[in-house]
Amino acid sequence: MNLIKPKKLKIGDTIGIVATSGKLNNEEALNRAVLYFNDMGFNVMLADNLYDKKRYLAGEDEIKIEQLHKMFANKNIDAIFCMRGGYGAIRLINKFDYNLIRNNPKIFIGYSDITALSAMFLKKAGLITYSGPMCLGDFGSLEGEKETFDNCFDVLMNNKILEYKPFQEGLIVSGEAKGITFGGNLATIVSLCGLDFIPDEDFIFFVEDLNEPSYKIDKMMTQLTNIPDFKTHIKGIVLGEFLDVDNEDWLKEIFKEIANELNIPVVGDFRITHNKLKITVPYGAKAEIKNEKFIIYNI
């Protein structure tokens, strides 16, 4: 797989904001996000459909696709930030012009439902994207975390080796692993089953979710590990936060069983999460698990 890392962001660049999933539910938060980017020294361009609404969606699928294509094709746009997650990205993935995306690489960032886009951009366009904060829930939130924002722009603006440590004791099965980063929100990844979405090379699976009971996490991980290509290429697991899981002990047992079955290491707990305090993870970059650290070569 020939992977493409977009150029790093710099002050004075233009950030495009797109709506690919849920509808705008807090206009004040969007305005705060725009002001935050402006205050940092960035220009901002809004997609035309940010205010569109169709049921729980940010308007019609065709318009979302058109707007995202325009953002990638526009030479004046240097980075694309997603407005929010929710639901809707999976409705789009069979309709993108992946050649356009491959030929116009640029920073693309989001998490949760946006996981579907990052996975398919990696698979179909070879584009390294970023799992990180979004406009409404993070940059526009009154409870937004400065540490989250600082880490995000440090990752996007600098070429460096990232060494993330678990925020609490999280070792489940020791070991070392190498591969590209792949994963994100577990339920969203599983929603891609039936499509050609698994990387063609070895990967470290980083994963998080919220409001999912342990038996569903077990079911989703089993569904993935039943896929031959997934089972062949997964070399390690990095656990983010599974918010509001019903039983933490069961969760650890599930991942320990997977690690032992596949003979791979599992480490956690990392700030890969729906919580306000989160790290930004390059999606598709070379990485390794070593000494319980999650090391990513963002260079």
Asked whether the predicted pLDDT for residue 26 surpasses 70, the reply is yes
Asked whether the predicted pLDDT for residue 88 surpasses 70, the reply is yes
Note whether residue 227 is domain-resident.
yes
Q: Give the domain-ending residue among 126, 158, 190.
A: 158
Question: For the segment 42-75, what is each residue's pLDDT rounded down to a tens digit?
Answer: 999 999 999 999 999 999 999 999 999 999 999 9
Residues 136 and 99 in one domain: yes
Q: Give the domain-ending residue among 99, 127, 158.
A: 158
Asked whether the predicted pLDDT for residue 267 surpasses 70, the reply is yes
Question: For the segment 288-298, what is each residue's pLDDT rounded down to a tens digit?
Answer: 999 999 999 99
Note whether residue 6 is domain-resident.
no
Note whether residue 174 is domain-resident.
yes
- pLDDT average, residue stretch 213-239: 98
Residues 149 and 166 in one domain: no
CATH of the domain at 151: 3.40.50.10740
Residues 153 and 178 in one domain: no
Residues 103 and 139 in one domain: yes
Write down the residue that tokens 């390059």 correspond to: 282
Residues 112 and 169 in one domain: no
Note whether residue 7 is domain-resident.
no
Note whether residue 9 is domain-resident.
no
Q: What pLDDT was estimated at residue 84?
A: 97
- pLDDT average, residue stretch 248-262: 95
Asked whether the predicted pLDDT for residue 113 surpasses 70, the reply is yes
Which residue range is the domain that position 174 belongs to?
A: 162-298
Residues 235 and 272 in one domain: yes
How many domains is the chain built from?
Answer: 2
- pLDDT average, residue stretch 214-235: 98
Residues 146 and 169 in one domain: no
Question: For the segment 270-285, what is each residue's pLDDT rounded down to a tens digit?
Answer: 999 999 999 999 999 9
Residues 171 and 279 in one domain: yes
Q: What pLDDT was estimated at residue 160?
A: 94
Q: What pLDDT was estimated at residue 1?
A: 66
Asked whether the predicted pLDDT for residue 225 surpasses 80, the reply is yes
CATH of the domain at 197: 3.50.30.60
Q: Give the domain-ending residue among 158, 189, 218.
A: 158
Residues 194 and 60 in one domain: no
Residues 151 and 205 in one domain: no
Q: What is the pTM of this model?
A: 0.97
Question: For the segment 132-188, what is each residue's pLDDT rounded down to a tens digit?
Answer: 999 999 999 999 999 999 999 999 999 999 999 999 877 789 999 999 999 999 999
Residues 119 and 97 in one domain: yes
Q: What pLDDT was estimated at residue 171?
A: 77
Note whether residue 135 is domain-resident.
yes
Note whether residue 4 is domain-resident.
no
Asked whether the predicted pLDDT for residue 27 surpasses 80, the reply is yes
Residues 121 and 151 in one domain: yes
Note whether residue 2 is domain-resident.
no
Q: What pLDDT was estimated at residue 193?
A: 97
Work out the percent of the chain whose per-residue pLDDT is above 70. Answer: 100
